[in-house]
Structure 1
Amino acid sequence: MHNDPPRPKRRSLRRAFVAGGLVLALAAGGTVWWAADRFLIPHVEVADVAAYEAQQAAVTATPSPDATPEAAATTTLTDTSYSDGSTSVTVSTVTTGTGADIVTYYVADVTLGDATDLRSAFANNQFGENIIQPTSEIAAANGAVFAINGDYYGFRSTGIEIRNGVVYRDEPARQGLAFYLDGHVEVYDETQTSADALLAAGVWNTLSFGPAIVENGQAVAGVEDVEIDTNVGNHSIQGDQPRTAVGVIDDNHLVFVVVDGRQSGYSEGVTLPELADIMTSLGATTAYNLDGGGSSTMYFNGRVVNSPSNGGERGTSDILYVAG
């Protein structure tokens, strides 16, 4: 006699496959949602940064009763330079090497009449995670004559972020860079202080990326092995890459460098030790690495002067700039 396989077992097997497929689909969907929430969906913490900073300034400002308005300065602007009498920016282009070793980078020598002439601005005038806008658009919206991409703070939830004298984030995690109101700039350990302590000490802006590549006039050893973030989605900062860096020559005298890369025959990019060598050759006694790769952008007088590696600007979360 022929015996058919028991039907209940088939149904059970089918149900098991369906249930398993549903679990996988839900898991995949959950992963997709997590990734979108982590890297794509904007999380706005401050909806109007300009209003927020104006409010904070009104609370903390203590103008001197004897202060008198400064005389209007004469402004000079060319294709490669800007001066308002006290603050100046000079942009130059450098190409070294040939063939597979060719490198092209852009240098902005910046002298500040006052430390507060170097300002920060956020994408879409908002603070939070995953809020991005091209450097040139952020610059134009804030009347910048010169700008570079910043530390891409919005990619992560950690770091100390003080911008234009206002605390936005106090989550110490790494080596930071602090710009003080007296014009000096220094590398510091975020985990050994707090945003409030820095603010009380006279910090105007901080950056949280790194690493420091020059200290005391010397290239820092071992920077090629440093990891800035170990979270999912972090990309290596080693090898020949497009780079952005800020260097300190003296109080209120800075040098900004954007190195193009990943463009055969034009510019291959540089390693972090090579970036350090560029900064020391420019006279920097301290230098700090900022967000690079497709983010590396220098803006001057209404246009992007370098050639971003993506074939065009990539959105970023913040800039440093000098207003025109």
Structure 2
Amino acid sequence: MEPTPRRKRRTRRRNVIIASALTTTLTLSGAAAWAADRYLVQHVEIDDVAAYEAENSPVTVDDGADDTGDDEESTETVLTDTSYTSGETSVEISTVVEGSGDSTVTYYVAEVTLGDATALRSAFANNQFGENITDLTSSIAEENDAVFAINGDYYGFRDTGIVIRNGVVYRDEPARTGLVFYTDGSVEVYDETATSADELVAAGAWNTLSFGPAIVEDGAVVDGIEDVEVDTNFGNHSIQGDQPRTAVGVIDDNHLVFVVVDGRQSGYSEGVTLTELADIFVDLGATTAYNLDGGGSSTMFFDGEVVNSPSNGGERATSDILYIAG
């Protein structure tokens, strides 16, 4: 019996297998290249944010101090290990430890009173705006002479949302529930898809955050927050379970509270669920609270140091911060 036809069939089969493997490799390489471009490669849209804001901001920034000049005590700056006061702007840092053993939760609270709403500012990594531009929270804070800072919403991970910072519009791609800080000191949760960045600025918007979800509204825990997905694209779909957290709460106009919860560290802090995070804010007297980027990004900075213990064993780079200048 002639073996040649059988060898030919085997050769064809091998060729098909090799071609299939090559096609799969090329497809995976293409997907990897796309993912790298989308989530790793920096895409700079504005190269000098400071100059851009100086040219476009409708508001003259106030550092929160009383400028009457007649009362020396009103303009005095006082800094301690856990507090900062300058004029009518103040920051008070406290540490809370609850539970024991593997159920221990450790979190940090910054109660902030603003002499003027514009004393709460935002800054971008490397003084640039775009996608995948990152730096450590502490580095961004130091570059902007911040006495207090927390990580922001990691706007640079996504290409959607309304991004207004320091009164200037950077992005207008409505997608989710956002949080807006106004120049009159008020703060509210809003539906991005029901407005525009220009309309918000016209109404006095100073900063917006696009992450979520809102976890406290009208002084009560919001129903259904455990089922929310922040993003529908690759990565960061789920924010459920016990996690390190960063969030901002509103007690009253110009009276805010920031919370950073450590997590993923057995015996020190396991983290909290969104509902447990909401409960913390209700106990602090917040009428509104909004979840920000968490996990390894959760960082609180005060007086030149990171005060919490980030879950990665050190800070994870992020794209933006909220801060108060010293």
TM-score (norm 2): 0.93
| Selected match of 1:139 from 120, 123, 141 | 141
What code does the residue aligned with 2:270 have?
E
Equivalent residue, structure 2, for 1:153: 155
- Find the aligned partners of 1:61 and 1:277 in 2 and give their Cα distance: 35
After superposition, what is the alpha-carbon deviation per residue over 1:38-97, rounded to whole angstroms, capped at 9, x for unaligned? 21111111111111111113xx4589xxxx965382111111010111111010000011
Equivalent residue, structure 1, for 2:46: 46
| Selected match of 1:165 from 164, 167, 175 | 167
Matched, 1:311 2:322: no
Equivalent residue, structure 1, for 2:27: 27
| Selected match of 2:193 from 191, 194, 205 | 191
CA spacing shift, 1:62–1:315, aligned 2, 3 Å: closer
After superposition, what is the alpha-carbon deviation per residue over 1:88-137, rounded to whole angstroms, capped at 9, x for unaligned? 10100000111122110000010001000000000111111111111000
Taking every aligned residue pair, what percent have the same amino acid on both sides? 72
Superposed displacement of residue 226, structure 1: 1.3
Give RMSD over aligned pairs: 1.8
CA spacing shift, 1:10–1:114, aligned 2, 3 Å: same
Superposed displacement of residue 232, structure 1: 1.4
What code does the residue aligned with 1:112 have?
L
- Find the aligned partners of 1:186 and 1:163 in 2 and give their Cα distance: 15
Equivalent residue, structure 2, for 1:105: 107
> Does the aligned pair in 1 maintain the 2:94–2:108 contact within 8 Å?
yes
Q: Which moves more between the two structures, 173-182 or 9-18?
A: 9-18
Structure 2: which 5+ runs fail to align?
A: none
> Does the aligned pair in 1 maintain the 2:185–2:253 contact within 8 Å?
yes
After superposition, what is the alpha-carbon deviation per residue over 1:238-269, rounded to whole angstroms, capped at 9, x for unaligned? 11110001000110010000000111111111
Superposed displacement of residue 174, structure 1: 0.6
> Does the aligned pair in 1 maintain the 2:230–2:237 contact within 8 Å?
no
Equivalent residue, structure 1, for 2:117: 115
What code does the residue aligned with 1:259 have?
V
| Secondary structure, aligned partner of 1:38 | helix
| Secondary structure, aligned partner of 1:106 | strand
Equivalent residue, structure 1, for 2:82: 80
CA spacing shift, 1:243–1:62, aligned 2, 3 Å: closer
- Find the aligned partners of 2:79 and 2:289 in 1 and give their Cα distance: 27
Equivalent residue, structure 2, for 1:302: 304
Q: Which moves more between the two structures, 165-174 or 68-77?
A: 68-77
Superposed displacement of residue 14, structure 1: 4.3
What code does the residue aligned with 1:49 have?
V
Q: Which moves more between the two structures, 27-36 or 297-306?
A: 27-36
- Find the aligned partners of 2:278 and 2:59 in 1 and give their Cα distance: 38
- Find the aligned partners of 1:152 and 1:61 in 2 and give their Cα distance: 24
Superposed displacement of residue 234, structure 1: 2.0
What code does the residue aligned with 1:133 have?
D
| Secondary structure, aligned partner of 2:309 | coil
- Find the aligned partners of 1:165 and 1:260 in 2 and give their Cα distance: 31
- Find the aligned partners of 2:161 and 2:3 in 1 and give their Cα distance: 70
Superposed displacement of residue 17, structure 1: 3.3
Superposed displacement of residue 219, structure 1: 1.1
Equivalent residue, structure 1, for 2:178: 176
What code does the residue aligned with 2:239 have?
I
- Find the aligned partners of 2:139 and 2:206 in 1 and give their Cα distance: 23
| Selected match of 2:206 from 197, 204, 207 | 204
Matches within 5 A, 1:287-298: 287-298=289-300
| Secondary structure, aligned partner of 2:316 | coil
Structure 1: which 5+ runs fail to align?
A: none
Equivalent residue, structure 2, for 1:95: 97
TM-score (norm 1): 0.94
Matched, 1:18 2:18: yes
| Secondary structure, aligned partner of 2:279 | helix
What code does the residue aligned with 1:178 have?
V
- Find the aligned partners of 1:159 and 1:273 in 2 and give their Cα distance: 24
- Find the aligned partners of 2:34 and 2:300 in 1 and give their Cα distance: 33
